[in-house]
Amino acid sequence: GEDVEQSLFLSVREGDSSVINCTYTDSSSTYLYWYKQEPGAGLQLLTYIFSNMDMKQDQRLTVLLNKKDKHLSLRIADTQTGDSAIYFCAESTAGGSYIPTFGRGTSLIVHP
Amino acid sequence: DGGITQSPKYLFRKEGQNVTLSCEQNLNHDAMYWYRQDPGQGLRLIYYSQIVNDFQKGDIAEGYSVSREKKESFPLTVTSAQKNPTAFYLCASSIGDILNSPLHFGNGTRLTVT
């Protein structure tokens, strides 16, 4: 079945780059999403990538997809304290339910 | 502005009482969802609805009930049968049955039952 795995915590210094990693199991055509959740709020869609792409860049965000290893990463350049949040990876797969499968979320802590 | 509204933001109830959480969307989305979030456990799907007057159980439906009488509304009732109801509840919606159908979330309701 589908499974999405993320590490639970990441701590970085302000101004450094953050890299949040995710692995998924389904190898069919897939959309992969990154969501951000600030404390006490809902999830906000940050970006997504389709499985026929290797990379997508949007301002400070870069998504890299390694289809062979089923590995997705989100890189945040010049990380700011406002980037402190929980980041969720999610996968939506052709041929299955259209409901995305979510990882458990990675808590990003940015130190001044 | 289009979006999803959950109310109230905080809800307090005594054990043994049923409570209903509101979720309204004006995005014209066909599908709506309820998730429960507990610390360290990510999101767990309670119920979802693909179309008006139809809904399906998710992974943890026991002790919950829903209705979908209108496209815009998907209220969740937490019944007294739910053994551990204190949690953060998130409602979401999406276009529906297409591959790229990202979920749009409300800001959540924090339910505390004592």
Q: Could you read off the pLDDT of B69-86 as tens digits, one per residue?
A: 999 999 999 999 999 999
The token pair that represents A78 in the structure block? 């010049």
pLDDT in tens, A23-69: 998 777 688 999 999 999 999 999 999 988 999 999 999 999 999 99
A99 alpha-carbon distance from chain centroid:
17
DSSP assignments along A40-71, one per residue: TS-EEEEEEEETT-SEEEETTEEEEEETTTTE
Q: Look at residue A1 in the predicted model and tell me its pLDDT.
A: 46
CB within 8 Å: B98 and A98: yes
CB within 8 Å: A45 and B100: no
φ/ψ (deg, to 5) at B20 = -115, 130
The total of other beta-carbon atoms located within 10 Å of residue A89's CB is 26
Whole-number mean pLDDT of chain B? 94
Inform me whether the pLDDT recorded for B23 exceeds 80: yes
Q: Look at residue A98 in the predicted model and tell me its pLDDT.
A: 76
Q: Write down how long chain A is.
A: 112
The token pair that represents B77 in the structure block? 């009732």
Residue A102 touches chain B, beta carbons under 8 Å = yes
> How far is residue A85 from each of residues A30, A53, A106, B15, measured CA to CA in Å?
25, 26, 8, 32
Question: Do B109 and B11 contact (CB within 8 A), yes or no?
Answer: yes
The token pair that represents B66 in the structure block? 């829903």
Candidates B57, B50, B34; CA nearest to B111 is B34
Q: How far is A104 from chain B (nearest CA, A)?
A: 4
Please list every residue in chain A whose beta carbon sits closer than 8 Å to the beta carbon of residue B4.
42
How far apart CA B30 and CA A18 sit, in angstroms, is 36
How far apart CA A89 and CA A104 sit, in angstroms, is 8
The share of chain B scoring above pLDDT 70, in percent, equals 99
Residues whose CB falls within 8 Å of the CB of residue B18, separated by 6 or more in sequence, listed in order: B77, B78, B79, B80
pLDDT in tens, A6-30: 999 999 999 999 999 999 987 776 8
- Chain A 30-69, CB below 8 Å of chain B: which residues? 31, 33, 35, 40-45, 48, 50
Q: Look at residue A99 in the predicted model and tell me its pLDDT.
A: 84
Q: Is B111 exposed, middle or buried (0-12, 13-18, 19+ CB in 10 A)?
A: buried
